[in-house]
């Protein structure tokens, strides 16, 4: 089965990333953290045997994104659409036209490991239509697909704590079989950052 791994990455522009952390650490530091997490994610997924595509926003030309593409020999792609759901849907449709399955990850989950990707691919290979990596904040940190349906991406309040629950509801309504991975956390809030820094300090 042909599976492609898509990393959704946003250019680390101060004031436009990690906005919930800005009051605590400032826009510049938040952008630096975002870039660090982005680099960590790409390095992690490149340890798998899957071809990796970097889906960039707003485009592929920001120096940080261009460096990742060059350093890791990634296939560069540009996100398209007014919201996250539209952009993910477009990426999934585009990729599934030439692959049996896709695995999408963002760059907010610092504990992502190669085994997560391998488990997702194994579940898809065994017949799951969808794989979800549940996040503690009510979203998801990984989405694996063998099939596409617009219902999984439309009219969902992205960034809210109801994303995962709504996605499960849509999957039940579609009567699709799905598999869930371990619950992990994203670094979006000051308490998330403190948690990650504590783990790093003990490493």
Give the pLDDT band (50/70/90) at residue 203.
low
CA-CA distance, 15 to 19, in Å (whole number)?
6
Domain that holds residue 144: 3-202
Q: Is 194 helix (H, G, I), strand (E, B) or coil?
A: helix
Question: What residues does 57 pair with on adjacent strands?
Answer: 10
pTM of the model: 0.96
| Domain of residue 72, CATH code | 3.90.550.10
The contacts of residue 16 (CB under 8 Å, 6+ apart) are 10, 31
CA-CA distance, 46 to 44, in Å (whole number)?
5
Q: Domain tally for the chain?
A: 1
Average pLDDT (127-147) is 98
Question: What are 66-122's pLDDT values in tens digits?
Answer: 999 999 999 999 999 999 999 999 999 999 999 999 999 999 999 999 999 999 999
């Amino acid at each position: 089965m042909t599976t492609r791994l898509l990393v959704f990455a946003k250019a680390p522009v101060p004031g436009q990333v990690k906005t919930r952390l800005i009051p605590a650490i400032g826009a510049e530091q938040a952008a630096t953290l975002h870039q660090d997490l982005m680099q960590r994610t790409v390095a992690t997924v490149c340890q798998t045997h899957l071809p990796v595509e970097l889906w960039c926003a707003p485009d592929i030309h920001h120096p940080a994104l261009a460096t990742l593409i060059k350093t890791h020999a990634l296939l560069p792609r540009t996100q398209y659409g007014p919201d996250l759901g539209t952009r993910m849907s477009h990426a999934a449709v585009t990729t599934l036209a030439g692959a049996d399955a896709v695995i999408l990850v963002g760059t907010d989950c610092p504990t992502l490991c190669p085994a997560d990707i391998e488990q997702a691919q194994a579940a898809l290979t065994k017949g799951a239509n969808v794989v979800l990596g549940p996040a503690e904040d009510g979203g998801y940190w990984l989405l694996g697909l063998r099939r596409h349906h617009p219902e999984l991406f439309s009219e969902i309040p992205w960034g809210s704590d109801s994303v995962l629950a709504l996605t499960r509801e849509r999957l039940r309504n579609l009567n699709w079989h799905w598999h869930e991975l371990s619950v992990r956390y994203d670094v979006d809030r000051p308490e998330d950052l403190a948690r990650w820094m504590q783990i790093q300090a003990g490493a």
